């Protein structure tokens, strides 16, 4: 991907914490939010100098809830990004919104500011399920948000839904899925709930669907979405139509190990085969980018690693190959054998021949020719047990 860059901007604020959430998000006073956005703006300005040669192909405002703070704060960040980075005219510029806060004025402001892709966190259209998740919205608010988004001119809309929720039956899940497909968003992300340690859910007795029902939800998702005109391009992601038009460019950069810069609290980055993440401590982050914004990096670090960076990891060749495989195999298209050779100067079979042969023999991996380029990819059966297979590509 050469000198291409994607930008992720983390907005860590939510009105209230959902019971299953382990994202870096919390509520905060208006004044704390304003201080955060001042620091974020400083970070944008500082980082842009180090990435001035890069063409920005996608921008993603995620959270948290980017539709929760005042829209002017969000729009100003996008404006600053546009002034400081070389954002391509056709860049994909996404923002996540929550139906509880995405009022019409905000949607109109986001559209006007230049966002061209909206991601709505619906999760379910069953009001009881939403309540059990601790979400602030109900199905009516989701429909309103969807209609208002379309009216505001958002043509490219993603809807997030979740399966394996407490108290959810296969029937109620399929109802949510069918109602969403009837709206015809350009993209649907369908994840199953994972109960993460440290969340309120991990302390609660939950009535979760059994393994068989969970598998049935997963298989029915594929079937219903494919019958409704969506193609699966990643384990949990579906785009309308048969081609790449509505696939999420930004997320594909993660899976293909492109360069991305995370701005904001706790945001992760990867550039030049170095990974790092920003501090997750709000006061430290604000302090770094208000009081110490001109601070020099320690001399043993690359100049583009920002001052609030933690967990800096330089990936050696083995680590790069592992990532190439286990991230790339998430994509239905798989990994390009030519790209592996280009990046590592070796044939993929000379490194992973044993594992590849074994899983081709079992029917979990396939070699496929697409317009003259050869890809190694998981079969449908392989995608069903992807975690097990991907683990085999770790040295």
Helix residue ranges per DSSP H, 17-57: 30-50
Question: Reduced to 3 states, what is the DSSP secondary structure of residue 100?
Answer: coil
Tell the smallest beta-carbon distance from residue 135 to ligand SF4 (Å).
7
Candidate list 33, 40, 60, 64; residue touching ligand SF4; CB under 6 A:
64
Tell the smallest beta-carbon distance from residue 23 to ligand SF4 (Å).
4
Tell the smallest beta-carbon distance from residue 13 to ligand SF4 (Å).
8
Contact indicator for 37, 77 with CB cutoff of 8 Å: yes
Q: Nearer to ligand SF4 by C-beta: 135 or 377?
A: 135
Tell the smallest beta-carbon distance from residue 63 to ligand SF4 (Å).
5
Q: Nearer to ligand SF4 by C-beta: 18 or 91?
A: 18
Question: Reduced to 3 states, what is the DSSP secondary structure of residue 92?
Answer: strand
- Using CB atoms within 10 A of its CB, is residue 85 exposed (0-12), middle (13-18) or buried (19+)? buried
Task: Write the CB contacts of 10 (distance below 8 Å, at least 6 apart in sequence).
Answer: 24, 62, 63, 64, 262, 263, 264, 265, 266, 267, 278
Candidate list 9, 11, 25, 60; residue touching ligand SF4; CB under 6 A:
25
Tell the smallest beta-carbon distance from residue 25 to ligand SF4 (Å).
4
- Is 143 a residue that touches ligand SF4 (CB under 6 A)? no
Q: Nearer to ligand SF4 by C-beta: 27 or 116?
A: 27
Alpha-carbon distances, residue 46 vs 68, 84, 261, 282, 329 (angstroms): 26, 9, 12, 18, 35
Which residues between 4 and 23 bind ligand SF4 (CB under 6 A)?
Answer: 14, 17-18, 21, 23
Q: Nearer to ligand SF4 by C-beta: 25 or 124?
A: 25
Q: How far apart are CA 37 and CA 332, in angstroms?
A: 38
Token pair listed for 10: 């983390």
Task: Write the CB contacts of 95 (distance below 8 Å, at least 6 apart in sequence).
Answer: 60, 61, 66, 67, 74, 110, 115, 117, 118, 119
Which of these segments, 36-44, 60-68, 163-171, 271-279, binds ligand SF4 (CB under 6 A)? 60-68
Q: Nearer to ligand SF4 by C-beta: 37 or 324?
A: 37
Which has the closest alpha carbon to 158: 72, 259, 233, 215?
Answer: 233
Tell the smallest beta-carbon distance from residue 60 to ligand SF4 (Å).
14
Binding mask 192-231 for ligand SF4 (x = CB under 6 A): ----------------------------------------
Q: How far apart are CA 18 and CA 291, in angstroms?
A: 33
Candidate list 58, 98, 148, 336; residue touching ligand SF4; CB under 6 A:
98
Footprint on this chain of ligand SF4 (rule: CB under 6 A): 14, 17-18, 21, 23, 25, 63-65, 98
């Amino acid at each position: 991907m050469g000198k291409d860059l994607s930008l992720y901007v983390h907005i860590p604020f939510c009105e209230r914490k959902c019971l299953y959430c382990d994202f870096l998000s919390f509520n905060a006073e208006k004044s704390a939010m304003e201080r955060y956005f001042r620091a974020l703006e400083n970070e944008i300005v500082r980082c842009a100098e180090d990435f001035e040669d890069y063409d920005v192909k996608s921008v993603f405002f995620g959270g948290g809830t980017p539709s929760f703070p005042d829209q002017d704060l969000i729009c100003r960040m996008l404006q600053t990004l546009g002034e400081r980075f070389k954002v391509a005219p056709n860049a994909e510029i996404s923002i996540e919104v929550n139906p509880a806060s995405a009022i019409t004025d905000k949607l109109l402001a986001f559209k006007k500011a230049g966002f061209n892709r909206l991601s709505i966190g619906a999760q379910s259209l069953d009001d009881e399920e939403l309540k059990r998740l601790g979400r602030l919205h109900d199905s009516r608010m989701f429909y309103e948000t969807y209609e208002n988004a379309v009216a505001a001119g958002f043509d490219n809309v993603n809807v997030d839904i979740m399966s394996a929720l407490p108290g959810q039956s296969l029937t109620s899940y399929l109802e949510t899925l069918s109602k969403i497909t009837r709206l015809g968003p350009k993209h649907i992300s369908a994840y199953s709930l994972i109960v993460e340690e440290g969340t309120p859910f991990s302390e609660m007795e939950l009535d979760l669907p059994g393994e068989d029902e969970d598998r049935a939800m997963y298989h029915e998702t594929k079937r219903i979405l494919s019958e409704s005109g969506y193609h699966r391009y990643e384990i949990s992601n579906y785009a309308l139509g048969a081609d790449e038009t509505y696939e999420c460019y930004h997320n594909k950069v993660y899976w293909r190990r492109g360069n991305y810069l995370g701005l904001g609290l706790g945001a992760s980055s990867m550039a030049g085969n170095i990974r790092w993440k920003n501090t997750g401590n709000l006061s430290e982050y604000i302090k770094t980018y208000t009081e110490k914004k001109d601070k020099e990096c320690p001399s043993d670090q690359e100049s583009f690693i920002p001052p609030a960076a933690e967990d800096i990891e330089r990936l050696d060749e083995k680590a790069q190959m592992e990532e190439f495989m286990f991230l790339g195999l998430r994509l239905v298209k798989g990994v390009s054998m030519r790209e592996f050779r280009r990046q590592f100067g070796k044939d993929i079979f000379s490194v992973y021949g044993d594992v590849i042969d074994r899983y081709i023999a079992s029917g979990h991996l396939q070699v496929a020719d697409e317009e003259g380029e050869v890809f190694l990819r998981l079969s449908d059966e392989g995608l069903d047990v992807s975690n097990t297979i991907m683990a085999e590509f770790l040295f």
